[in-house]
Copies of this chain bind each other. A is one copy, B any other.
């Protein structure tokens, strides 16, 4: 039993963190690029493909690196810290869904030559047995060939052209592209239900890991600022009002990080408990991202609600991921209905 990364796992974390520090520093989202600029990270995909990041958890026989959900989760914490476009979720999940039966598509996704967008329900999703109808949001889908749809009880890979009436919308999170679209008895290339394997749990786990990264980055930004910003002749971090806010952020991030690690090990063993632990990790981690995002702004004071520091980006991204595949309310409804795992 060990919930700390192994040396090999730490090397992967360091590699991804180093790559993102060089290629995707948070400054890329600063005001000079402010506005509806779409996916700022599309150029990263081929480089990430080269490093094997897009197929990290796909089995070797499926063309991936053959690592586990543990390494995937660790990587997604880094994606969250750097606010990498959530389009990356499309690639990872799409590669998994394609790998078993459509090796060519999986290969194209993992190579970064086929982009994969995300779809999330705007309301009720109708249909069963792998036929889907309803209204959806498409995220980072404008240049995508494929779409991964996540609902509260299924995950499915579509060709983008299955989605009808695609029309662009502005988004609260200005560093991404958003569309509305619909499925009418849409037939996926591949899909699985929440009861059927761990694809769906993996989606929740990776969202949780990403959210954990957001919570950690919001914390780091707040702490750094509290150490240097002075008021009344001393650093604001010396005042309990600020110090205790930072402590609460640290607690939230630690709670999220521990449960994400725990759930990732459970998933890596293909355990029956995967759904339970993935949902638990999603609930605490999205909560941490939302809370830390909001608290980070307050710790920064007035500069916090400007576009001149990153503080506001975390809370916006936290809201975005909250809604992918169903918000906290939906997830908690699912979770309270799940069987106990003790």
Residues of A within 8 A of B (CB): 239-241, 244
Cβ of A239: which chain B residues have Cβ within 8 Å of it? Answer: 240
Which applies to chain A's interface (DSSP): helix, strand, loop or mixed? helix
Query: Closest B-chain residue to A239, C-beta based?
Result: B240
Cβ of A241: which chain B residues have Cβ within 8 Å of it? Answer: 240, 244
Query: Quick one: copies of this chain in the complex?
Result: 2
Cα distance A239–B240 in the bound complex, in angstroms: 7
Cα distance A240–B237 in the bound complex, in angstroms: 12
Can you pick out 5 interface pairs between chain A and chain B where the beta carbons lie within 8 Å of each other? A239-B240, A240-B240, A240-B241, A240-B244, A241-B244
Cα distance A239–B239 in the bound complex, in angstroms: 9
Cβ of A240: which chain B residues have Cβ within 8 Å of it? Answer: 239-241, 244
Output the least CB separation between A279 and chain B (Å): 25
Cβ of A244: which chain B residues have Cβ within 8 Å of it? Answer: 240-241
Query: Closest B-chain residue to A242, C-beta based?
Result: B240
Cα distance A240–B241 in the bound complex, in angstroms: 6
Output the least CB separation between A301 and chain B (Å): 15
Query: Closest B-chain residue to A241, C-beta based?
Result: B240
Output the least CB separation between A249 and chain B (Å): 16
Query: Closest B-chain residue to A240, C-beta based?
Result: B240
Cα distance A220–B239 in the bound complex, in angstroms: 25
